[in-house]
Structures are given as structure tokens and as C-alpha cells.
Amino acid sequence: MANSNVAFGLKPINTAGSTPATQGTNAYFIASNASAIFQGSPVKCVNAGEIAIATATGDTVAFIGVFAGCEYVSSVTGKKVFSNTWPGTGADTNFDIIGRVYDNPMQRFVIATDATFTNVATARAAIFESSQFNGGNAGNTTTGNSTASLDVATLDSSNLSLPLKIVGFQPDVDNEDYAAAGLSVIVMFNNHALLQADSEAAIS
């Protein structure tokens, strides 16, 4: 039976080593002219000391983590807004825009695949391989949720410059069809910005 998953971006679960995961977030600045960022979107560091959403594929950059939500002062009402998405406009530029990010380098996330692995054996062989995003910068403007997924076609066993490392599969009776898209894959970031000498530089 086909999986029930639709692309939902990255959802935090636990941390490497099975230590307790508080799923805590930390605050980072967002530019008032930054592109929209959705809950579950991968975010990167930019030169102005701010965060920004990934590109469609994720490119070869280090990521600071996954976007959880933000707060800003509305340019229309003058009131504080708490939202699961940064809409890209609407903030009073006299006040900071603060994004909350799951930024633990050891955080593990669940993401849906964009295509089939064909069978169980092929899927298991993909564990410890790297991959890009499909639609890493995409999201649903109604729900505010990311629609990023894992790009199965880009799996690579040796290219550590790719953003994601597959470390397992999440048990889920509604999403265990290995011959269909939407399989729940557990991933970590290959290159975390907090562990890099230059958090904004490309990874080669």
C-alpha cells in the first residue's frame, strides 16, 4: 500500500547516541527582506549574522539547523507576531526578527523521500549515504510547513559535501512501503555550521 506521507520538511526526533532530546531551539536573526522560511525548512548562515532558507537542493553549504518558527512586530498592527513561518514581508524594521532553530549538531530528523527505493534491500543499502534536498526552499503558505523532501536520485556513498546523511528509517505502519515515495527516513546534517571554522563557507 502506498505511503500516506506527503513532503513535510524535517522533523526533529532524537539525538545521536540516544541521549534525551529536549528539541530545544535557539534564537537567530532574520533579515526583513529574507525569503520566506517555513517550519521544517533547513536554514543556513549568511554573512550579515543572520539565517536564511536553503536553496532547492541544499547546495554544498553547512547548515545551522531546522527552522521551528519566529517572532516579529507587525508593520500593520504594531503587535508582536508569533508564527511557525517567516512570510518574507510584514515586519516593522525598527525591531528585530527572531527565528527559532533546532541547532543541535547531533540532532536527528525525519524527512520523507521524494521517490521509491524499490525494495527493502535497496533502502537499507542507502543507510550512511548522503543526499540532497528536493524542494529544500519550498513550503505551504497556508499551513506554514516546509514541503522539502529527500532526493533519492542524488544518493552518493562518498560525497560528504551533500547536506544530508541517512542514518536509518523510522518505524511507521502507515509509511513502510519501500516501493513507494514518502518513506520516513532518519537523517542528520553532514556538515553543521556550528562545527565549521567558517560557518558561511561552501563545503568542498
144: which residues sit within 8 A by CB, 6+ positions away?
38, 39, 83, 84, 85
Bridge partners of 51?
45
Question: Does the predicted TM-score (pTM) go above 0.85?
Answer: yes
44: which residues sit within 8 A by CB, 6+ positions away?
51, 52, 53, 54, 61, 62, 63, 64, 193, 200
Residue 204 confidence class, pLDDT cut points 50, 70, 90: low
Q: What is the 3-state secondary structure (H, E, C) of the chain?
A: CCCCCCCCCCEEEEEHHHCCCCCCCEEEEECCCCCCECECCEEEEECCCEEEECCCCCCCECEEEEEEEEEEEECCCCCEEEECCECCCCECCCCCEEEEEECCCCEEEEEEECCCCCCHHHHHHCCCCEEEEECCCCECCCCCEECCEEEEEEEECCCCCCCEEEEEECCCCCCCCCCCCCCEEEEEECCEHHHCCCCCCECC
Residue-wise pLDDT tens digits, 151-199: 999 999 999 899 999 999 998 888 888 888 999 999 999 999 999 888 8
More confident residue, 200 or 79: 79
Residue-wise pLDDT tens digits, 92-132: 999 999 999 999 999 999 999 999 999 999 999 999 999 99
104: which residues sit within 8 A by CB, 6+ positions away?
15, 21, 24, 65
Residue-wise pLDDT tens digits, 6-15: 889 999 998 9
Residue 22 confidence class, pLDDT cut points 50, 70, 90: confident
Instruction: Please check whether residue 29 is in contact with residue 98, taking contact to mean a CB–CB distance below 8 angstroms.
Output: yes
